[in-house]
Chains A and B, each alone.
Chain A
Amino acid sequence: MQVFKAMMKVTRRWLPSALVYIIVFVVISIFASSSSTKENKFEVTKLDICVFDRDDTPESHALIELIGKNNNLKHLEDDKDVIIDALYYGRVDYALIINEGYAEKLGNGETADLFGSYHIDESFSIVYINQFLEQYTSSVKAYLAMGKPLSEAVASAENVLTQESEVDMFRGNDEGNEHFSVAFSSYFLFMPYILISAVFVVICQVLVVMNRKDLRFRTNCSCIKNTSYSMQLCLGSVAFVMTVWLFLMVVGAFLNKEMYSGRAWLAVLNSFIFSLVVAAIAVLVSCFEPKQNVLNLITQVIGLGMCFLCGVFIPASMLGDNVIAISRFLPAYWYVKANSMIAETEPYSFDSVMQCYMIQLSFAAAMVVLALLVRRVKYSGAAISTSVKKIAANS
C-alpha cells in the first residue's frame, strides 16, 4: 500500500483548493435551506390577466386556455381608457392583445408582432408573462421546424410549458413531496457541480503527479507490479471521492434533519454512483497528463458545461429538445433525472431510477476502459506494453 499512502500524502497537499469549493458549497446550501424556510423565496404568483383575442382561431383559443391555467383571466371592455383604468387601480396586472393573423404568422414560424399589450411597470410579473409568451412561441416554432403540423406543435409546446410550471410550483413549495424534502433535493441537485469542481480537480492533479513519467520509470524499476500500482491509484481516487461524498452526506444531514428517510436513500445512492463517475472521469483525464492551467480549463468546461446542459442550474425542461438530445450522452443528465424522479418533479418509477443508476455506472465503466486504452497507446513504445505482450504470450 506504499503507493496508496504516497497518493494520500500528495492529496493532502492539494486539499486546500478543494476545501474552498466544498466550503462555498456548504455555505450556499446553509443559506439556501434557511432562506427556503422564510418567505422571501422565488414564487410563481398568479397574475390577473385580461386577454383580447383579435385573431379568434383554435390556436389563439389554445393560448388563452394555457394562460388561464396558471393565471386568473379577467374580462374587460376592449377600450383603451377602461383598460388603463383597470391597470391603474390594480384590477388587472396585464392586458394582452393577440393580434389578428396570430395563427397564420405562428404557422409560418414568425414570432414578431404576434402580441400587443398594456401594462404599467416592469414588475417581475410582467417579465414573467413576457418570458412565458416568448418561450411558448419559440417552442411552437421549434416543433414546427421539426415538421409537426401547427395543431400538434401547439399541443407539444403547451405540454412543455405546463411541465415547467409544475417544476416552478414545486420549487416554490415548502413541503415537497412526502418522501423527500425540497431543500434536500436541491442539495443533491447541485452536488455534481461540487463533486466535479472540487473532487475532480484534486484527483486529476494527484493522478498527474503519480503518473509523472520520471516517477513511473523509477517505480517501474522496483519490485512493485504495474497492475498493483494502477489498482492502488484507483483505490486512492475512490477513497478520496468517497471521503468527500461522505462529508457532504453528513453535512446534508445536519442541514436537513429528517432527510435520511424513505426515498431519500435513493438520492443518496444516486449521488454515490455519480461520485464513482467523477472518479472515473478523473482517471481518464489524468491519462493525458494535463498541465495545471489546462486542467483548470477542462474542469470549467466539464463542470460548468455538464451542469448547465444537464439541468443542474436550470431545470431540464427549460432546455431545448436538441440540448437534451446532447445531454443524454452526459452522465450528469441521468443523475439529475434520477434525482428529479426521486423528488417527484418527474413521475417516479423505481425501475427508471435503477435504469439511471445503470447508465451512470456504464459511463464510469466506459471511462475506465477508455483510460486503459489511452494508457496502452501512450506507453506502446515503452516496456509496459512489452510486459503485457509477454504476459499474454506466457498464458
Chain B
Amino acid sequence: MTDTVVKINDLVKRYGDLIALDHFDLEIKQGEIFGLLGPNGSGKTTTINCLLSLLSFDKGRIEIFGREMTPVSYDIKKDIGIIMQNVAVFDELSVYENIDYFCGLYIKDKEKRRQYVDEAIKFVGLEDFTKFHPKKLSGGLLRRLNIACGIAHKPKLIILDEPTVAVDPQSRNRILEGIQDLNRNGATIIYTSHYMEEVEQICTRIAIMDKGKKAAEGTKDELKRMIKNTETITIEILDLPDKVRKQIASLDHIYDTGFENGKLTVYCSGGKHNLLRVLDVLQKNELSFGRVYTELPTLNDVFLEITGTALRDKED
C-alpha cells in the first residue's frame, strides 16, 4: 500500500466550450491537510466532483487509495467523507435524522451507527439541537450539520468544499479546529477555499488554482519562497517628494515602491534591515512620518505574483 491517497493525472473537463479543468495534476499523501486555493470559478468544485466520479470528464485518470475511481467503486467510496459546497441536508428531517440517514448509507449496523452519530453530533457541537429542523438553524450551525453528515461514518479521506462560506467567525474557528482534530485522528483532508487566511492557517500543503490550471504547489513556506517579495513596508507619510521616493527605490533589495493616499509602500526582496535603511533615508531628508508597519508575504502576494490578479478582488 502506498502512502499516496489521491492521484489525479492530466484531468481535462469541459462544459461545452468552457474548459473548466485544463490538464490538471494533483497528488495528495496520507495524513495531509491539502488546501486547494483559488478564486471563485477557478475549478475547485469541478475538481472535487470529478474526483468523486459525480461528473464524467473528458480526459485523465483518477486514483484514490491506489485504485482507479469509477462511479461504481463502492469499496473506495466507503472510506470517503464529503462535505459539499452547498448545504445538502433534508429540510424535512431533524438534525439527528439527517446525520443518521447519511451515516446509514455507509454503516448498516444500528448499534454502531447510533454511537457514530452521537460522536459526530458531539464533534460539531450540536448536542442541544438534535431535534431541530435545518430551517431553524443559523448559517453557522447549518454548516456544522453539513459537516457532521459528511464525517459521521469516520472516513479515511475527508473532502471539504468551501465549508466556511457565510459562517460567523466563531463557527468558522470551531470548524477549522475540528478539521485539524480529524486530521490528528488519522484522516487525510482535502480542503478547498478562496479564503487564503484559512488555508494558510490549517493546510500542510497547498495548490493554487487559477482558470482550471494548477498555478503553484507546495507548503506555504515553499510557496512564499517562490516569489521575490519577502517583505512589504508601509509608512504613513503626508508628503513625499519624487526625489526621495527615487532614493528609496534605488536602495538595495528594494524592487518597487508605491505612494498613494499618504501611504508609502515599499516592496523588498531579500536583504536585511530593509526598514531601517528606508527610515534612514526619510530622516536624512527631514521628513516626518506616522505609523510604520511591515508585513511578511501572504498567499495573496503569491497568488498575485503568479496569476497577475489578486485573490481578494475576485471574491463574489
A residues with CB within 8 A of B: 2, 5-6, 9-10, 12-14, 209, 212, 214-215, 217-225, 381-387, 390-391
Contact = CB atoms under 8 A, between A and B. Distances in A.
Interface string B47-89: 0010011111000000000000011101001101010101111
Given A217-B54, A223-B105, A381-B56, A387 B88 contact: no
Interface in B69-113: 70-72, 74, 77-78, 80, 82, 84, 86-93, 97, 101-102, 104-106
A222 B102 contact: yes
Given A217-B84, A218-B84, A2 B104 contact: yes
A20 B54 CA distance: 40
A223 B92 contact: no
B71 A224 contact: no
Contacts of A209: 90-92
A218 B56 contact: no
9 contacts: A6-B93, A6-B97, A9-B90, A9-B93, A14-B92, A217-B54, A220-B52, A225-B74, A382-B56
Contacts of B86: 214
Given A6-B90, A209-B92, A221 B52 contact: yes
Interface residues of B, number: 31
A386 B72 CA distance: 10
B55 A381 contact: yes
Given A218-B149, A385-B56, A10 B92 contact: yes
A25 to B, nearest CB: 25
A2 B105 contact: yes
B56 A386 contact: yes
A286 to B, nearest CB: 15
Given A215-B90, A218-B88, 9 more contacts: A9-B92, A212-B88, A214-B86, A219-B105, A225-B72, A225-B74, A381-B55, A383-B71, A390-B72
A221 B64 CA distance: 13
A391 B106 CA distance: 22
Interface in B242-278: none
A135 B74 CA distance: 67
Q: Secondary structure at chain A's binding surface: helix, strand, loop or mixed?
A: helix
A209 B70 CA distance: 26
B78 A390 contact: no
Contacts of B78: 222-223
A124 B45 CA distance: 71
Contacts of B49: 217
A76 B78 CA distance: 93
7 tightest A-B contacts by CB? A387-B71, A214-B88, A222-B105, A2-B104, A13-B92, A386-B56, A383-B71
Contacts of B72: 225, 387, 390-391
B160 to A, nearest CB: 13
Contacts of A212: 88
A211 B226 CA distance: 46
A5 B92 CA distance: 13
Contacts of B105: 2, 219, 222-224
B54 A382 contact: yes
Contacts of A218: 82, 84, 88, 102, 149-150
A364 B152 CA distance: 39
A214 B52 CA distance: 14
